[in-house]
Amino acid sequence: MVGGCRSPFARAGTDFKDVSPVDLARRTVVELVHRMNLDGNVVDEMFFGQVVPSPLIPNLAREVSLLSQFPRSIPAAAVNRACASANSAIAHGHDQILSGNAHVVIAGGAESLSDVPILHSRRMRDTLLALSKARGMGQRLKLIARIRPRDFIPLAPAIAEPSTGETMGQSAEKMAKENGISREAQDQIALRSHRLAAQGTEDGRLTAEIVPIFVKPGQPPVTSDNGIRKDTGLEQMAQLKPVFDRRYGTVTAANSSPLTDGASAVLLMSEEAARSLGYEPLAYIRSYAVAAIDPGEQLLMGPAFAVPRAMDRAGITFREFGLVEMHEAFASQVLSNIQALESKKWAEERLGRSEPVGQVDRDTLNVMGGSIAIGHPFGATGGRITLTLANEMKRRDVQFGLISVCAQGGMGFAMVLERS
């Protein structure tokens, strides 16, 4: 990985309300090209994550690879592994390079939750399809007469498991209860996320990776994430009502990641390509792993399974991680996973390991905050986390860094970065 950048992350319906995810991704990649002084002709392939694509543009990645900065001959694929989509895009790039199929890959992701596709009801869809095939006025009128007011009720995509029907928030709520995670502990995680993200924005570490995006003519560009609250406090958070279990719940809007718009992109190269093109490697991908569990149990525990796998593949111990970036979908998910990673009992029962996976040092965890504060554009988050980790590893001169991301379907993704 030789470099990367991302758009600012904006809460859905705010700054990027009128910017399509394709445009967000394209502008981010144009900036990547300029920041890296990249010759578009050297790029072999592109992968971009997107979780809720527009039905009109199913393959966002191709729209990016059709940017005029590149020849029109770069194949590109959209990747969907839910919240770990951009991570998977990067992993695909890594695999393509490792297998010798490619030398230079651009990988990343984009998401707009300001503009999600909303479907007609099944009955309405049937009627419309029939109408498009209908012959003659009579048939058409007959079909139109079939339409009832309730047919107009639209179907919005829910952030829910197709298999269990359980929403993400309900899963997070379940994890909080089953793992005994208090409201206060969750709010502490959220507070920490906001404080550290605000600090990273102020000292320019977070903004260094951000590409300013112009939205409206005559207005200044958007240059930073707009979900970070510098002055929030525990008392303020404590006043919020739980969303998913109004009476006995602990998961609130404050200790969950918000719906967000944004894009991210990183530039991957084989070592030889980097050297011959004159690029200094920022970080190496040492290993990665994906794990999946039964969505019927604790849905977001995937990382606890993926992390030891990636660690084993890298051949290192948890103690060697100088920095850890853990995606914060919900504070309860972060704390549940940490609890599992640190538990000897859990390691014995679930992994068959005699020792816990490792102690998560809070001083090296999400040192510039996480998705709760910065935001979580599903398809783009993986790129942001990878980029933030690599940049901070360089600043702190850390050898190993860990990425962990939970994803829908009971999946978890982990990646180990290394600096030589």
Partner 1 sequence: MNAFTIDRRDGIAKVVFDLPDQPVNKISKAVRDELDGILPDLARDPEVRAVVLLSGKPDNFIAGADIDEFVALESAEEALNLVRTGQALVNQFAELGKPVVAGIHGPCLGGGLETALACTYRVATDHPKTSLGLPEVQLGILPAAGGCQRLPRLIGARAALGIILAGKTVPAKRAKRMGLVDEVVHPAVLEQVALQAAGRLAEGWRPRRGRGGFAGLLLDRNPLGRRLVFSKASEQLRKQTGGHYPAPVAALDAVWHGLSRGLKAGLQREAEHFAELAVGDVSRKLVQIFFATTALKKDTGVDEEGPTPEPRKVVNLGIVGAGFMGAGIGGTAVTRAKVDVRFRDTAWEGIGNGLEATRKILKSGLKRRRISKYDFRRLDSLISGGVDWSGFGRADLVIEAVFEDLEIKHQVFSDLETQVREDCILASNTSTIPIAKIAEAVKHRERVIGMHFFSPVEKMPLLEVIVTKETAPWVTVTALTFGRKMGKTAIVTRDCPGFWVNRILSPYLNEAGRLVHEGVPIEEIDGVMKRFGFPVGPITLLDEVGLDVAQKASSVMHRAYGDRMSPIEGLKRMIDGGRQGRKNGRGFYRYEKGKRQGVDQAVYQIFQVEPSPVPETHVEQRLVLAMLNEAARALDECVIRSPRDGDIGAIFGIGFPPFRGGPLRHLDDMGVVRAVDTLEILAGAYGDRFSPAPNLKRMAEHGERFYSAA
* Catalytically annotated residues: 83, 376, 406
Q: Taking a C-beta distance cutoff of 8 angstroms, is the pair 113, 12 a contact? A: yes
Q: Does 35 bind partner 1 (CB under 8 A)?
A: yes
Could you tell me which stretch among 27-35, 75-83, 286-294, 372-380 binds partner 1 (CB under 8 A)? 27-35
Q: Which is nearer to partner 1, 74 or 385 (CB)?
A: 74
The rounded Cα 291 to chain-centroid distance in angstroms is: 16
Q: Does 157 bind partner 1 (CB under 8 A)?
A: no
Q: Which of 101, 163, 182, 223 binds partner 1 (CB under 8 A)?
A: 223
Q: In the range 186-215, which residues lie near partner 1 by CB under 8 A?
A: 212, 214
Q: Which of 25, 38, 291, 324 binds partner 1 (CB under 8 A)?
A: 38
Coil, helix or strand for 268? Answer: strand
Q: How many residues bind partner 1 (CB under 8 A)?
A: 22
Could you tell me which stretch among 111-119, 218-226, 340-348, 377-385 binds partner 1 (CB under 8 A)? 218-226
Q: Taking a C-beta distance cutoff of 8 angstroms, is the pair 265, 29 a contact? A: yes
Q: What share of the chain is helix, strand, coil (3-state, %, to 5)?
A: 40, 20, 40
Query: CA dist 370 to 72, 127, 394, Å?
Result: 36, 45, 19
Q: Which of 136, 220, 241, 248 binds partner 1 (CB under 8 A)?
A: 220
Q: In the range 278-297, which residues lie near partner 1 by CB under 8 A?
A: none
Q: Which is nearer to partner 1, 28 or 127 (CB)?
A: 28
Least distance in Å: CB of 71 to partner 1?
11
Amino acid at 14: T
Coil, helix or strand for 188? Answer: helix
Could you tell me which stretch among 31-39, 233-241, 337-345, 396-404 binds partner 1 (CB under 8 A)? 31-39
Could you tell me which stretch among 34-42, 284-292, 370-378, 402-410 binds partner 1 (CB under 8 A)? 34-42
- How far apart, in whole angstroms, are the C-alpha atoms of residue 313 and residue 309? 6
Q: Which is nearer to partner 1, 31 or 111 (CB)?
A: 31
Residues 56-95: x/- map of binding to partner 1 (CB under 8 A)?
----------xxxx--------------------------
The rounded Cα 312 to chain-centroid distance in angstroms is: 24
Least distance in Å: CB of 117 to partner 1?
22
- How far apart, in whole angstroms, are the C-alpha atoms of residue 296 and residue 364? 32
Q: Does 221 bind partner 1 (CB under 8 A)?
A: yes
Coil, helix or strand for 47? Answer: strand
Least distance in Å: CB of 387 to partner 1?
16
**Of 67, 148, 106, nearest in space to 386 by CA:** 106
In total, the chain counts a number of residues equal to 420
User: Residue 409, by phi and psi: left (phi above 0), alpha (psi -120 to 50) or beta?
Assistant: left
Q: Taking a C-beta distance cutoff of 8 angstroms, is the pair 7, 28 a contact? A: yes
Q: Which of 13, 34, 178, 234 binds partner 1 (CB under 8 A)?
A: 34
N- to C-terminal Cα distance for the chain? 12
Helix (H) and strand (E) counts for the chain? 14, 10
Q: Does 37 bind partner 1 (CB under 8 A)?
A: yes
Q: Does 219 bind partner 1 (CB under 8 A)?
A: yes
Binding positions for partner 1, rule: CB under 8 A: 26-27, 30-31, 33-35, 37-39, 66-69, 212, 214, 217-221, 223
